[in-house]
C-alpha cells in the first residue's frame, strides 16, 4: 500500500491549489461525509470528451469500482455506446470488482484525494 502518493502532475485540480489547500478541503469533505471517498475526477488532456461539472466526486466506501464508474458515466451524460477508459493516478487501470475502499487505501494521494482520469477508448470495429 502506498499512503503518500503525489497527485499526478497532469491534474489541473492539483496545479491550481496548494498542497495545504487540498489537504484542508479533503479533511472537510471527509468530516462532512465520513462514509464517502473524495475523488478528483478530470478528463485526460488528450480526450475530446466534456469536462465534469465539478472536479470533486464522492463515492461510497463500500461501492464496487465498476458501480462508481457507471455513476460517473451517467453524470457526464455520455452516449451509451461510447467506450471509456478510467485511470487512477494517470495510468493505473483497476479490476472492476475491487471495492473503492481497497483502491483508496492503495492509491490515495498525499492530500487525501483519489485521482481518476477518463478518456474515450479506441475500439476496432
Task: Enter the CATH code of domain 12-119.
Answer: 3.10.20.90
Closest by alpha carbon to 43, among 115, 122, 96? 115
Model pTM score? 0.87
pLDDT tens-digit profile of 63-119? 999 899 888 888 888 887 888 888 887 666 777 788 999 999 999 999 999 999 998
Residue extents of the structural domains in the chain: 12-119
Tens digits of per-residue pLDDT, 70-81? 888 888 888 878
The rounded distance, in Å, linking the Cα atoms of 64 and 79 is 22
Around Cβ 46, how many Cβ atoms within 10 Å? 9
Amino acid at each position: 500500500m502506498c499512503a503518500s502518493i503525489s497527485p499526478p502532475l497532469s491534474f489541473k485540480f492539483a496545479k491550481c491549489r496548494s498542497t495545504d489547500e487540498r489537504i484542508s478541503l479533503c479533511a472537510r469533505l471527509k468530516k462532512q461525509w465520513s462514509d464517502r471517498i473524495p475523488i478528483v475526477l478530470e478528463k485526460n488532456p488528450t480526450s475530446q470528451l466534456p469536462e465534469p461539472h465539478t472536479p470533486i466526486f464522492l463515492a461510497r466506501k463500500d461501492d464496487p469500482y465498476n458501480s462508481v464508474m457507471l455513476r460517473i458515466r451517467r453524470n457526464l451524460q455520455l452516449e451509451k455506446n461510447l467506450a471509456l477508459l478510467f485511470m487512477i493516478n494517470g495510468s493505473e487501470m483497476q479490476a472492476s470488482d475491487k471495492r473503492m475502499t481497497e483502491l483508496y487505501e492503495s492509491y490515495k494521494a498525499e492530500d487525501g484525494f483519489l485521482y481518476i482520469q477518463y478518456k474515450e477508448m479506441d475500439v476496432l470495429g
